[in-house]
Structure 1
Amino acid sequence: MRSLLLCLALWGSAAFAQPVCEVMAVSGEAQRVDGKALAVGDKLDVGTTLRTGGNGRVRLRFIDGSVLVLADRSQLRIEAFSASASQPRAAELLLELGLIGQRVTPSASGSWQVRTPTAVTAVRGTEFSVEVGDDLATAVHVKAGEVDVEATGAQARAAKPRRPVRLAKALNGTRCDASECGAAVAWAAERVARVDQRLGSLD
C-alpha cells in the first residue's frame, strides 16, 4: 500500500508540473537531449536539457517574460525556475557548452543565475550573453544593466575568496577560467558583432 501511495504521489506531481518556458522560434538542428526535435509552441519543464547543432538556434520565453536564445553548437539545462506573484523569482540555468543571450525581466527580488563549468553569473534584470568555449573557459558580455561574475572552478574555490567581477555598460566583458575571472574590460565592436550574429534577435 505504501508503495502504491508513493507511486500515485509521484505521478500526480509530474502530471501537474507547470511548464516554465515556451519555444518561440527554432531554426536548424535543435532538440532535447533525448533526441526529440524542438518545435515552436513546445512547453518545457525544469530538468529539460536542450542541444543545438552547427546551424541550430532556439528562442525561449519564460513565464516571467524573460527571453533566452540558445545559439549554435550549444547545450543548456533548465536546473530550476519558479516565479509567481507570491514568491520571488528563482532561476538557475546550466550552460555546459556554447552561447546564450538573455533579456531578463527586471525583478525587485529573487535571482537569475547562469552556471557554467568555470563561472556563475547573477543578475536581476538585464541583457547579456554567456559563452562556454571548447576549453570550458567562460566569456560574459553585458549590453544593459549589471552582472556579477565569479569563477567556480576547483582552483578558484581553493584560493582566497575574491569579490565578483561586476560588468556594466562601460566595462562590459570578462573571461573566466578554472582559477579566476579577468578584470572587466570593454569588448571590441567586432567581437560584439560576432556574438550578435550567432544569437540573432531576442524579440
Structure 2
Amino acid sequence: MRALVLCLSLLSASAFAQQACEVMSVSGDAQRVDGKALAVGDKLDVGTTLRTGTAGRVRLKFTDGSVLVLADKSQLRIDAYSAAASQPRIAEFLLETGLIGQRVTPSAGGSWRVRTPTAVTAVRGTEFSIEVGDDRATAVHVKTGEVDVEPAGPQTRGIKARYPVRLEKKLNGTHCDVTQCVAAMSWTAEKVQRVEQRLGSLD
C-alpha cells in the first residue's frame, strides 16, 4: 500500500511539472544545481536551477520561441513558465548571479519578468541582457525593443514616481542597487561588446 501511495505521488508530481524549455546548445561546465550535467535536447521544467562554471554557457529555447543564454559563472532559476495558446504567457526567472541574454518573442498580454537580488525587469518582446555582479548590483542593457526596470528593495518615498526606468534604443542601459536604479543612459560600444562576447549568439 505504501509503495502504491509513493508511486501515485510521483505520478502526480510529474503530471503537474510544467515543461518550460529545451537545451539547444551547451559548452563547458553547465549543470543543474543537483549536479546533473546539461546536454543538448534536455527538457527543463519550472523549478529547475541552472549553474555555469568559469567557461560554461548554455542556450535555452522556450516553447513560445523565446531564447535565453546563460553565460559563464552564472546561476538562474526558472520560477514560472506558461505559454498555452489560449492564455497570456507568464514567465518568471531569478538570476542570482552572472549574466543572461534574452530574445523574447512578442506576446499580446502576459509577462516576462526577471528578478535579481537588486532589480526586477519586465518585458513583452525584445532582446536584452541582465548582469548581476559580485556586489549583487544589477546592470541591464536593451538591444532592441523596451524594458522596464525597478529596484527590488523598498523605494524611498518621493522618488517612487521615477520608476520604472524605461530602457530603449538610445537610452539603453541602467544600473541598480537594492534601493535605486540610475536614470537610463547610453552604454558605450566597448561595454556592450564585453557583454556580447560573454553571451555569444542568441541564434
Q: What TM-score, normalized by structure 2, do the two folds share? A: 0.93
Distance (Å, rounded) in 2 between the aligned partners of 1:194 and 1:185:
17
1:171 alignment partner in structure 2: 171
Structure 1 residue 12: deviation in Å?
A: 2.9
1:159 alignment partner in structure 2: 156
Distance (Å, rounded) in 1 between the aligned partners of 2:155 and 2:198:
35
In structure 1, runs of 5+ residues without a counterpart are none
Distance (Å, rounded) in 2 between the aligned partners of 1:194 and 1:6:
53
Deviations along 1:127-159, one digit per CA (max 9) or x if unpaired, are 000000000000000000000000012xxx152
3-state SS, counterpart of residue 178 of structure 2: coil
Structure 1 residue 56: deviation in Å?
A: 0.3
Identity level (%): 73
Q: Give aligned pairs, total.
A: 199
Question: Does the Cα contact within 8 Å between 2:18 and 2:82 map onto a contact in 1?
Answer: no
2:50 alignment partner in structure 1: 50
Distance (Å, rounded) in 2 between the aligned partners of 1:113 and 1:183:
20
2:195 alignment partner in structure 1: 195
1:114 aligns with 2:111: no
Q: What TM-score, normalized by structure 1, do the two folds share? A: 0.93
Distance (Å, rounded) in 2 between the aligned partners of 1:183 and 1:196:
22
1:74 alignment partner in structure 2: 74
2:93 alignment partner in structure 1: 93
Q: Tell me: CA distance 1:83–1:6, structure 2 relative to 1, closer, same or farther (3 Å).
A: farther
1:22 aligns with 2:22: yes
Distance (Å, rounded) in 2 between the aligned partners of 1:194 and 1:168:
19
Larger displacement relative to structure 2 (88-97 or 14-23): 14-23
Structure 1 residue 19: deviation in Å?
A: 1.6
Distance (Å, rounded) in 2 between the aligned partners of 1:182 and 1:158:
13
3-state SS, counterpart of residue 12 of structure 1: helix
In structure 2, runs of 5+ residues without a counterpart are none
3-state SS, counterpart of residue 99 of structure 1: strand
Question: Does the Cα contact within 8 Å between 2:155 and 2:180 map onto a contact in 1?
Answer: no
Deviations along 1:40-98, one digit per CA (max 9) or x if unpaired, are 00000000000000000000000110000000000000000001111100000000000
Q: Which amino acid letter does the alignment assign opposite residue 101 of structure 2? A: G
Q: Which runs of 4+ in 1 moved over 6 A?
A: 3-6
Distance (Å, rounded) in 1 between the aligned partners of 2:12 and 2:182:
43
Q: Tell me: CA distance 1:15–1:191, structure 2 relative to 1, closer, same or farther (3 Å).
A: same
Distance (Å, rounded) in 1 between the aligned partners of 2:66 and 2:31:
21
3-state SS, counterpart of residue 14 of structure 1: helix
Question: Does the Cα contact within 8 Å between 2:102 and 2:127 map onto a contact in 1?
Answer: yes
Structure 1 residue 15: deviation in Å?
A: 2.2
Q: Which amino acid letter does the alignment assign opposite residue 11 of structure 1? A: L
Deviations along 1:3-43, one digit per CA (max 9) or x if unpaired, are 99975664233222242100000011000001111000000
